[in-house]
Structure 1
Amino acid sequence: MPDAQLPLLDLHDALTPGSPRSAEVARQFRAAAQDSGFFYVRGHGVPQALIDAQFALAEQLLTLPAAVREALSIRHSPASRGFEALGAQTLDASAHPDLKESFYCGLAYPDDHPYVRAGYQTYGHNQWPAELPEAPARCEAYQQAMLTLAQRLMQLMALSLDLPEHYFDAANGSPMVTLRMVRYPPHPPGADEHTFGAGAHTDWGALTLLAQDHHGGLEVCTPRGDWIEATPLPGTLVVNLGDMVPRWTNGRYHSNPHRVRNRHSGGAARYSIPFFYEPDYLAPITPVPGTVAPGETPRFEPCTAGEHLRQMYLKTYAPKAAVAAHPVAERPTVTP
């Protein structure tokens, strides 16, 4: 595997609108987005103590008794929140089932929120184990910190596209947010080339903010087809662009494949905590100004953020079963 490193963006003096290094960081964002769509961030403003506490909670959640986890399986949740069992997901259709298990939660929108009432995907109730009564508040605090960072990164992306800094703010009315805590067992000795903790895939949404433990294992495919390791760097998060961003930028910015193999842990489990940020369900996803030349046809059909995620869901899972289980809800009348 080539010895290469992802770009590193230092957000010091760039964490608030109009801050002195915003233009410099936006240029670095543009270069990374036009390459692999992956980069590290440091100086990101999320306290290390908060991240460390979330890893401790992840280990507590994912080592609860099997009966507890089964009772709170995502199979019982219309919002796909709760526990996902080892091998339940196959991100790469040409590979074996993924060697990972997870716990999912999201923002705690109230029952009377229009999107919750409409049954929109990702809006709904979390499932929490009674054995960890502190889990809801701790996850909410972590999500709010990451949401603040994600919104700032969207502002830097706007600057990177020569747009007003607040261009994407209007898309953030009621964002779709998923927090996932993941446990990877050690990579099996003698495993074949089709065995992964997480098979090669791209993320579906806008931004993924990843906290990874010190073991490593994340691998990123460059535009040249090389796989490079996203080696953990102290004090950093890994950020990658999801498939929504190429639609927003008419293919100018990239969403590249990545995968996980827990091969460097010395037989220990690997934990990672991806935070998936997507805009408001009804936010329009159309090419931003300056990305479609005069007379050029856009590369993607316009859609909403929710429609994009549904398209990706139907592409990945059995379409007939998905339609039956998740019928399209009527859009409520609401101003995000």
Structure 2
Amino acid sequence: MGIPILDLTDALHPGAPRSAEVAAQLRQAAMGSGFFYVRHHGIAAEVVQQQFALARQLFEAVPEATRERLSIHHSPTQRGYEQLGAQTLDLSARPDVKESFYCGMAYPDDHPYVQAGYQTYGGNQWPPELPQAPAQCEAYIQALLALSRRLMQLLALSLALPEDYFDATSASPMLSLRMLRYPAHPADADAQTFGAGAHTDWGALTILAQDMHGGLEVCMPDGSWVPATPVADCFVVNLGDMIPRWTNGLYHSNPHRVRNTRSGGQPRFSIPFFYEPDFMARIEAVPGTVPAGEAPRFAPCTAGEHLSEMYRRTYQLKTKTPAGTDTGVGAEVAA
């Protein structure tokens, strides 16, 4: 079993002629590993390449002292720089061999969710050496948001729901963009050393741009791990933990991990975009997913409550780890 490629040609807009065909393919992938590639997704290759160039500048041109001043620990929204080894996604493994930079959608200060202090809503931190970064990242976020909304429409069709079923849940979405750098896998690494340990994502969708080195591995339904080999001009998409809640477990959010062992000693760069719906969006089993006479597998909640619960669990787990090991509280995960 592999990871399928969904071609979005003639399926990128509501009512497009291939929408039902692509939705059926999405359903099959979602009931398996919860992973698929998308090609002909409407985002120019140059836009993605420019984002990778910015990621390289963040880690290779911005001085380390500047990056440290932009630590996520200085940000109430957990945006900014996260140093090498600061996160441990798999608590049975060693700290992750990666560093990253987080940013998010530029909501204005007078937005009610910003004023309320809701998780993920607020300002970014930027290095002065890269004055183009705020506008470039906002443009990339807006492009990926449009793709996320379209994928949610196709997901609705895959569940025999109206194409616009999830549209209202995206009024003020929770969004995170993460730029990651994985150094070469340590030569003396043991079996418990990963660039990113096995984990699932917390939100609804993750849209990943990865360089051509590879290293992402996906756990399939039979428990085997397969590489998500880079495919030119394709994103890798995976479903996060909100989707099983929305589909009563019909669709899957599967574990994945990273080991930078295929780059010939070069660093690996990847750029995951995490789409989560509006903080107040209701997450409950959609029509047609709960068998007659049975209760839903998950209690209804809002997207914000789901995210807050994931943070609470992370805090509780953090207390069980060795002193000084950060499990990534307040931060989205990796790919």
Distance (Å, rounded) in 1 between the aligned partners of 2:83 and 2:145: 27
Q: Which residue identity does 2:191 align to in structure 1?
A: E
Superposed, which structure 2 residues align to 1:89-168 within 5 Å? 89-168=87-166
Q: List aligned pairs for 1:96-245, cutoff 5 A.
A: 96-245=94-243
Q: 1:56 aligns with which of 53, 75, 78?
A: 53
Percent identity of equivalent pairs: 69
Aligned to 2:259: 261
Residue 26 (1) aligns with residue 23 (2): yes
Partner in structure 1 of residue 292 of structure 2: 294
Of 7, 13, 36, the residue aligned with 2:10 is 13
Which residue identity is paired with 1:121? Q
1:19-62 alpha-carbon deviations (Å, 9 max, x no partner): 00000000000000000000000010011000000000000012
The 2-side partners of 1:125 and 1:276 are apart by 17
Compute the displacement of 1:294 (Å). Answer: 2.1
Cα separation, 2, equivalents of 1:272 and 1:318? 29
What residue is the counterpart of 2:282 in the other structure?
284
Distance 2:311 2:82 in 1: 17
Amino acid across the alignment from 2:284: T
What SS is found at the alignment partner of 1:116? Answer: helix
Distance 1:161 1:311 in 2: 26
- Mapped partners of 2:40, 2:67: distance in 1: 36
Q: Return the alpha-carbon distance in structure 2 between the equivalents of residues 235 and 72 of structure 1.
A: 32
In structure 1, the residue corresponding to 2:276 is in which secondary structure? strand
Partner of 2:325: none
Q: CA deviation at 1:319?
A: 7.3
Question: What is aligned with 1:74?
Answer: 72
Determine the structure 2 residue equivalent to 1:332: none
* Residues in 2 aligned to 1:126 and 1:205: alpha-carbon distance in whole angstroms: 20
- Partner-residue secondary structure (3-state), 1:186: coil
Distance 1:137 1:272 in 2: 20
Unaligned runs of 5+ in 1: 327-336
Normalising by the residue count of structure 2, what TM-score does the alignment of the two structures yield?
0.94
The amino acid that maps onto 1:18 is G
> SS state of the match for residue 238, structure 1?
strand
User: How far apart, CA to CA, are the structure 2 residues paired with 1:320 and 1:277?
Assistant: 25
Q: Deviations over 1:161-193 (max 9, x none)?
A: 000000000100100000000000001113111
Q: How far apart are the structure 1 equivalents of 2:304 and 2:56?
A: 31
SS in 1 for 2:156: helix
| Cα-Cα RMSD | 1.4
1:316 aligns with 2:317: no
Quote the residue 1:333 is aligned against: none
- Counterpart for residue 38 of structure 1: 35
TM-fit CA distance, 1:5:
3.0
The AA in structure 1 aligned to 2:48 is I
Residue 47 in 1 paired to residue 41 in 2?
no
Q: Secondary structure at the match of 2:166?
A: helix
- Alignment partner of 1:199: what SS? strand
Label 1:319 to 1:266 Cα distance change in 2 as closer, same or farther (>3 A): closer
The CA deviation string for residues 219-251 of structure 1, in whole angstroms up to 9 with x for no partner, is 000010000000000010000000000000000
Deviations 1:241-268 (A, max 9, x none): 0000000000000000000000011111
Deviation at 1:318, TM superposition (A): 3.3
What secondary structure, in the 3-state scheme, does the structure 2 residue paired with 1:275 have?
A: strand
| Number of aligned residue pairs | 321
**Whole-angstrom distance in 2 between the partners of 1:220 and 1:306:** 27
Q: Could you tell me how far apart the structure 2 residues matched to 1:183 and 1:25 are? A: 33
